[in-house]
C-alpha cells in the first residue's frame, strides 16, 4: 500500500499498478463526485487537483499520484462553499449536473490564479472560454457558467450566502448528487456486454464456458435472439457479471463466438439500392427498433425502404402538377433542392446504466432513465412481478435527450445477471457503446420543392424525407411540415431507410430540426426571390397567433434591422444574420398525479417523475411555493422513485404541462384541508399566514390527477383523417409514438435570429449571437427556463456546425465512437444568447405553462444556414457545415 493525501487526509492506495486515479477515487474511496465520461482526457468530467493543479484523473496513473495531494470536488468548499460553487448555484451554471464537478474543480483553480494575478477584475468571455475549454457539457449550461465564473472572479460571491436557482444545485456543485453510475451496494458485481463484430450475419456458435472459468466471474448469460441474427455491429450477444470490470472484460474476451457473416447494407445510399441485401424480411420486421417512442402504424416495405410512414396530402395532384409545370418553365419562384442532415448522437454524459438488486422477491433497480414510472411497469410485466415488488430509482440523471425513454438493454442485462449471480449487478456502458449503440437522431435526405405565386402566396409545398434509421423504423420528418405555412396544395411523405447500422432513437424534437433545416431555408430563399423581408414573408404565410407575436418581436431586433446583405460585403471575414422558425407539439400525459402532504409542519410534494437536468424539482416547488406565498426551498420535493404516485415521462416536453395543472389542483385541496384542520381561522388578506398555518398543521395528505384542459385540441389534430385520407398524419403518428399522451390545443413555437461570422478563407463559421424567442406559455422557473432555452440553442449549434456520426461503409463500425471523434460544442463555441419569452397563448391550460425543451432547438440549424447565406450569398444544403463543405461551396460559386 502506498500513501497519498486526499482532500487533506492521508489515504492508502491499492497496489494495482494498472489503476488510474479515477478508479481509486470512485471505486476504492467512494468519492463519486469525480465523474468518468470520455476516459480519454477530452471532457474534463474527471478533473481533480494534484498539488493544486487540475489534471484529468482518467489519464493519471495512480502511481504518479503517490506521495502527493489530491483534491476532489468533495474537498472543495468542504467547510464553506467556494465562491465558484455559490456562483454556479446562483447563475444556474448546471442542468443535469454530470459535468459540474469537473467544471467546479477547474473553475476554482482558475479563480485562484485569476485573483492572484488580477484581483477582482472581471475576466472576459474569451479568458473564461480558454480556461474551461477542456470541459464539455452536453446540456449546454455554458451560458450560466460564463456568468458564474465571471462573477466569482470579480468577488461578487465572496462570503455571500446564495439562493440557488435550482433545488438540487448544492448537491451537484459539491459532488454529493448520486447518479446511477455512482450506486455501490455491498457485494456489487460489474456487468459487461459482449457485442457483435459483424454488421450482418448469424451467430453459429456461442461457447460461454471459457468465460465461466475466469476468476471472479459470477454469472454469464446469452443475449442472442431466437433467430441468432446480428443486424448491426454492436448487437448484444452475451453478458458477464464479475467482481471487477477487469475480470468481466477478460471473461467476455474468453467467450468463443463463431459467426457467419452475410452481405450487409450499410447506410442510406447502399440500403436503397435495388440489389441491396435486405435487413428484415416479412417474418422478422417486428424485431426492428423504433426511432419513435411508441409503436408505429402499418406501412408498405420495398426492400429496405419502408414507407410512406407518415403522409399528408392536400390537393396532392395539384401540388405535383404545379411543381412540374414550374420546373418545365423554369419558374424563378420554384425553390427546389435536396437537403441532407447528419446523424446526431445524444452523447449523454452519464452513460446508460442500471444497478439491479434482488432482496428475496423484491427487486430494486437504479436506472439512468427518463421515466421511472414506465420502466417500473415494464420491468414488472417482463419479469411477472407484482408492481409493488419493483422499485425503480433515478435520483439524478446525467442527461437523456430522448435516448433513455424505455426499458433498455442495460437494465435487462443488469436484472438477468443479478438474478443469476444472486448479487447486485451494475451495467454501465462505456463511451464507445454510448456513442455507437444507444440511438441517435437519424441522418436524412430531404427532397423539397416550394412554389410561390407571383403575388407572393404559398402555392405548393412538396417534401419527401428518407431517414437513415439503421435497424429501426418509424421516422417522421416531412409530415411535420403540415402544421406550419398552409399552402394551396401540399404533399408530404416520410420513408425509413433500414440498414445494417445500430437503430436510431428519439432525440429532442425528433424530426423537427431536419424538417426545419430544409423548410426554413426554402422559405428564406422564396423571400429573396420575391424580394421580401424573410420575417415579413413568414408573417404572411404563417397564421399561427403565437408565432405572429414572435415575428413582430424578431423584426424589431437591432441585429435584424441592421444586417448587411452579402453583396455589400468583402474581405476575409463576413457577417450575416438569419432567421428561422420552429414549432413543437404541446403534449401532456393523462394519469399524471401529484401528492401534496403536510409532514412535520412542512409541505412535501411527491410524484414518480424524474429530473434529467430540466429542473423538475424546481418546477414543482416553485408552483407550490407561489400558491402558498412561501419560498421554493420551503417545499420538500420527492421524485425519482417509481413507488410514488404516477408521474409523466421526461419526453415530448411534457413534464411541466403534465404536472403543473394537478399541482395547482392539489394546492387548492391542501389549502382547504389545512384550514379545516386548523385550530384557528386563517388570517385574512395576505399569503404570509400560510407559513404559520402549515407549521401548525397536523399531518395531511391530498393528491390530484391531471385534468383535461379548458379548450380541446385543434380540430385538425382531433380529426385529421377527414382532411387527409386514411394514411393518417403526423398527429396520428405522434399519438402512436406516445400512446399515453394527449396532444393539446395551441402550438409551442420559437423564432430565432442568429448572427454569424464566416471565414471565407478557411470555411469556418462562428456563431456570434442568438436571439431566441419562445412562445411556451407562462414560465414557471425563469432561470431554469433560460438554461433550457440556451442549452437547446447550443445543441442546435452542434447539429449545424460539428456533429455527425462517421461510419465505416464496409464494416459498419461506428468510427466516431469517442468524444474526440464525435465533436460536441464546447464553452468557447458558445454564442451570446438572449432569450425572449412570450407568455401568452396557453391560458386554456391550468397554470398556462407548456414544455420548452424541444421547441427551443428546432430552428437553430436553419437560422445559422440563413445567416451564412446573408453573409456570403451561398446556400448550404448539408449539415454539419464543415469547413471543407463551406470552402467547396464558395469555390463553386466563384467558378
399 interacts with ligand FES by CB under 6 A: yes
DSSP 461: E
Binding mask 138-157 for ligand FES (x = CB under 6 A): xx-x----------------
Instruction: Compute the residue count for the chain.
Output: 895
Among 39, 296, 406, 748, binds ligand FES (CB under 6 A): 39
Q: How far is the CB of 804 from ligand FES (least distance, A)?
A: 20
Contacting ligand FES (CB under 6 A), which of 45, 150, 481, 505?
Answer: 45
Minimum distance of ligand FES from residue 828's CB (angstroms): 15
Distance CA 414, CA 365 (A): 9
Instruction: Kindly state whether residue 397 participates in binding ligand FES, applying the rule CB under 6 A.
Output: no
Q: CB of 92 within 8 A of CB of 786? A: yes
Cβ 477 vs Cβ 448: under 8 Å:
no
Task: Compare residues 376 and 613 and give the one whose CB is closer to ligand FES.
Answer: 613
> Is the Cβ of residue 36 or residue 505 nearer to ligand FES in the bound state?
36
Alpha carbon distance 38, 620 (integer Å):
33
Q: Is 44 in the site for ligand FES (CB under 6 A)?
A: yes
Window 98 to 117, contacts with ligand FES (CB under 6 A): 98-100
The x, y and z cell numbers of residue 370, run together, are: 427518463
C-alpha 374: how far from chain center: 18
Q: For 621-625, which contacts have Cβ atoms below 8 Å and span 24 or more sequence positions?
A: 621/167, 622/780, 622/781, 623/659, 623/660, 623/663, 623/664, 623/667, 623/780, 623/847, 624/596, 624/663, 624/667
Does 214 interact with ligand FES (rule: CB under 6 A)?
A: no
Interface pick for ligand FES out of 56, 414, 655, 852 (rule CB under 6 A) = 56
Interaction between residue 616 and ligand FES (CB under 6 A):
no
Residues 6+ apart with CB under 8 A from 245: 190, 192
* Closest separation in Å from C-beta 712 to ligand FES: 37
Which residue stretch of 39-47, 300-308, 491-499, 775-783 sits at the interface with ligand FES (rule: CB under 6 A)? Answer: 39-47
Element (H, E) at 892: helix 883-894
Q: Is 732 in the site for ligand FES (CB under 6 A)?
A: no
Nearer of residues 433 and 496 to ligand FES, judged by Cβ: 433
Query: Which member of 6, 21, 29, 37 binds ligand FES (CB under 6 A)?
Result: 37
Q: Which of residues 58-97 bind ligand FES (CB under 6 A)?
A: 58, 94-97
Least spacing, CB of residue 499 vs ligand FES, in Å: 30
Question: For ligand FES, which is the closer residue by CB, 99 or 443?
Answer: 99
Tell me if 409 contacts ligand FES by CB under 6 A: no
Assess contact for 349 and 819: CB atoms under 8 A. Answer: no
The answer to whether residue 175 forms part of the interface with ligand FES (CB under 6 A) is no
Would you call the peptide bond into 308 cis, given omega within 30 degrees of 0 as the criterion?
Answer: yes
Nearer to ligand FES, 625 or 827 (CB): 827
Distance between CA atoms of residues 407 and 378, nearest Å: 7
Query: Which residues within the stretch 330-359 sit at the binding site for ligand FES (CB under 6 A)?
Result: 349
User: Measured between alpha carbons, how far is 342 from 801 in angstroms, rounded to an integer?
Assistant: 10
Please give the sequence-ordered ranges of beta strands (E in DSSP) within 210-333, or none if there are none. Answer: 217-222, 229-230, 236-242, 256-261, 289-290, 301-302, 305-306, 311-314
Q: Which residues contact 647 (CB under 8 A, 6 or more apart)?
A: 372, 373, 592, 593, 594, 607, 608, 609, 610, 639, 658, 659
Window of 37-45, 64-72, 567-575, 704-712 that interacts with ligand FES by CB under 6 A: 37-45
Q: What is the sign, positive or negative, of the torsion defined by CA atoms of 448, 449, 455, 457?
A: negative
- Closest to ligand FES by CB, 177 vs 493, is 177
Q: Which stretch binds ligand FES (CB under 6 A): 74-82, 132-140, 226-234, 668-676?
A: 132-140
Cell of 880: 454539419
Least CB distance to ligand FES at residue 798 (A): 13
The beta strands (E) that lie in 571-728 are given as 573-583, 587-588, 593-599, 602-606, 635-638, 700-705
CB 96 to ligand FES: min, Å: 3
Choice from 25, 29, 38, 666 touching ligand FES (CB under 6 A):
38
> Please, which residue, 41 or 725, has the CB nearer to ligand FES?
41
List contacts with ligand FES (CB under 6 A). Answer: 36-39, 41-46, 56, 58, 94-100, 137-139, 141, 349, 399, 613
Amino acid at each position: 500500500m502506498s500513501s497519498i493525501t486526499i482532500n487533506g487526509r492521508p489515504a492508502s492506495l491499492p497496489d494495482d499498478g494498472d489503476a488510474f486515479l479515477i478508479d481509486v477515487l470512485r471505486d476504492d474511496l467512494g468519492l463519486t463526485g469525480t465523474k468518468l465520461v470520455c476516459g480519454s482526457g477530452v471532457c474534463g468530467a474527471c478533473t481533480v487537483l494534484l498539488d493544486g493543479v487540475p489534471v484529468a484523473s482518467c489519464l493519471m496513473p495512480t502511481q504518479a499520484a503517490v506521495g502527493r495531494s489530491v483534491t476532489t470536488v468533495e474537498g472543495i468548499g468542504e467547510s464553506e462553499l467556494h465562491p465558484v460553487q455559490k456562483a454556479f448555484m446562483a447563475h444556474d451554471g448546471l442542468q443535469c449536473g454530470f459535468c459540474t464537478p469537473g467544471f467546479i474543480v477547474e473553475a476554482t483553480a482558475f479563480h485562484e490564479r485569476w485573483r492572484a494575478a488580477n484581483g477582482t477584475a472581471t475576466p472576459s468571455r474569451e479568458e473564461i472560454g480558454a480556461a474551461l475549454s477542456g470541459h464539455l457539457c452536453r446540456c449546454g449550461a455554458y451560458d450560466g457558467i460564463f456568468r458564474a465564473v465571471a462573477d466569482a472572479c470579480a468577488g461578487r460571491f465572496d462570503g455571500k450566502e446564495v439562493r440557488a436557482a435550482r433545488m438540487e444545485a448544492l448537491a451537484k456543485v459539491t459532488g454529493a448528487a448520486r447518479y446511477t453510475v455512482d450506486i455501490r451496494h455491498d457485494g456489487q458485481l460489474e456487468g459487461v456486454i459482449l457485442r457483435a463484430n459483424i454488421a450482418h450475419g448469424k451467430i453459429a456458435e456461442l461457447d460461454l464456458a471459457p468465460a465461466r472459468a475466469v476468476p471472479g466471474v459470477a454469472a454469464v448469460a446469452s443475449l442472442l435472439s431466437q433467430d441468432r441474427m446480428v443486424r448491426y455491429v454492436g448487437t448484444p450477444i452475451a453478458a458477464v457479471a464479475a467482481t471487477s470490470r477487469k475480470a468481466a472484460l477478460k471473461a467476455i474476451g474468453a467467450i468463443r463466438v463463431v459467426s457467419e457473416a452475410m452481405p450487409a447494407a450499410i447506410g442510406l445510399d447502399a440500403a436503397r439500392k435495388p440489389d441491396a441485401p435486405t435487413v428484415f424480411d416479412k417474418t422478422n420486421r417486428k424485431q426492428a427498433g423504433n426511432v419513435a417512442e411508441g409503436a408505429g402504424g402499418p406501412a408498405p416495405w420495398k426492400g429496405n425502404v419502408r414507407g410512406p410512414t407518415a403522409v399528408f396530402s392536400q390537393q396532392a395532384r395539384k401540388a405535383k402538377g404545379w411543381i412540374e409545370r414550374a420546373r418545365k418553365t423554369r419558374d424563378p419562384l420554384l425553390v427546389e433542392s435536396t437537403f441532407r442532415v447528419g446523424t446526431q448522437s445524444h452523447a449523454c454524459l452519464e452513460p446508460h446504466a442500471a444497478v439491479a438488486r434482488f432482496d428475496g422477491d423484491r427487486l430494486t433497480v437504479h436506472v439512468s432513465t427518463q421515466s421511472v414510472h414506465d420502466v417500473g411497469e415494464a420491468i414488472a410485466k417482463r419479469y411477472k412481478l407484482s408492481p409493488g415488488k419493483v422499485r425503480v430509482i433515478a435520483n439524478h440523471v446525467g442527461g437523456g435527450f430522448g435516448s433513455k425513454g424505455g426499458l433498455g438493454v442495460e437494465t435487462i442485462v443488469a436484472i438477468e445477471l443479478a438474478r443469476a449471480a444472486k448479487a447486485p449487478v451494475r451495467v454501465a456502458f462505456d463511451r464507445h457503446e454510448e456513442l455507437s449503440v444507444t440511438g441517435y437522431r437519424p441522418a436524412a435526405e430531404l427532397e423539397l420543392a416550394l412554389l410561390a405565386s407571383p403575388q407572393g402566396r404559398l402555392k405548393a409545398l412538396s417534401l419527401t424525407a428518407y431517414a437513415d434509421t439503421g435497424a429501426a423504423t418509424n421516422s417522421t420528418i416531412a409530415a411535420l411540415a403540415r402544421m406550419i405555412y398552409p399552402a394551396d396544395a401540399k404533399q408530404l411523405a416520410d420513408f425509413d431507410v433500414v440498414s445494417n447500422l445500430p437503430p436510431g432513437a428519439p432525440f429532442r424534437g425528433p424530426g423537427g430540426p431536419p424538417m426545419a433545416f430544409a423548410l426554413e431555408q426554402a422559405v428564406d430563399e422564396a423571400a429573396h426571390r420575391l424580394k421580401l423581408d424573410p420575417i415579413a414573408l413568414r408573417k404572411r404565410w404563417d397564421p399561427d397567433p403565437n408565432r405572429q407575436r414572435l415575428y413582430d418581436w424578431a423584426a424589431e431586433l437591432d441585429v435584424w434591422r441592421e444586417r448587411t446583405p452579402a453583396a455589400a460585403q468583402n474581405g476575409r471575414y463576413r457577417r450575416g444574420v438569419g432567421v428561422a422558425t420552429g414549432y413543437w407539439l404541446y403534449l401532456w400525459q393523462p394519469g399524471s398525479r401529484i401528492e401534496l402532504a403536510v409532514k412535520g409542519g412542512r409541505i412535501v410534494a411527491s410524484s414518480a417523475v424524474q429530473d434529467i437536468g430540466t429542473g423538475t424539482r424546481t418546477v414543482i416547488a416553485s408552483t407550490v411555493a407561489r400558491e402558498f406565498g412561501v419560498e421554493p426551498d420551503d417545499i420538500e420535493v420527492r421524485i425519482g422513485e417509481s413507488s410514488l404516485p404516477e408521474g409523466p415521462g421526461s419526453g415530448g416536453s411534457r413534464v411541466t404541462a403534465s404536472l403543473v395543472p394537478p399541482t395547482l389542483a392539489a394546492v387548492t385541496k391542501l389549502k382547504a384541508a389545512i384550514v379545516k384542520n386548523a385550530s384557528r381561522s386563517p388570517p385574512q388578506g395576505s399569503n404570509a399566514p400560510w407559513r404559520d398555518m402549515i407549521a401548525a398543521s397536523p399531518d395531511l395528505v391530498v393528491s390530484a390527477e391531471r385534468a383535461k384542459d379548458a379548450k380541446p385540441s385543434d380540430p385538425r389534430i382531433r380529426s385529421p383523417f377527414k382532411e387527409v385520407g386514411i394514411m393518417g398524419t403526423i398527429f396520428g403518428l405522434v399519438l402512436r409514438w406516445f400512446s399515453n399522451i394527449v396532444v393539446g390545443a395551441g402550438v409551442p413555437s420559437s423564432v430565432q435570429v442568429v448572427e454569424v461570422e464566416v471565414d471565407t478563407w478557411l470555411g469556418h463559421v462562428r456563431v456570434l449571437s442568438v436571439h431566441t424567442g419562445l412562445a411556451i406559455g407562462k414560465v414557471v422557473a425563469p432561470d431554469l427556463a433560460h438554461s433550457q432555452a440556451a442549452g437547446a440553442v447550443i445543441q442546435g449549434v452542434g447539429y449545424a456546425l460539428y456533429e455527425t456520426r462517421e461510419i465505416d461503409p464496409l464494416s459498419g463500425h461506428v468510427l466516431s465512437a469517442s468524444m474526440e471523434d464525435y465533436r460536441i460544442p464546447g464553452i468557447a463555441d458558445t454564442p451570446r444568447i438572449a432569450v425572449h419569452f412570450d407568455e401568452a397563448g396557453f391560458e386554456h391550460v391550468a397554470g398556462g405553462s407548456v414544455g420548452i425543451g424541444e421547441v427551443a432547438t428546432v430552428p437553430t440549424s436553419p437560422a445559422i444556414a440563413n445567416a451564412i447565406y446573408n453573409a456570403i450569398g451561398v446556400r448550404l444544403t448539408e449539415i454539419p457545415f464543415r469547413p471543407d463543405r463551406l470552402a467547396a461551396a464558395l469555390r463553386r460559386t466563384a467558378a
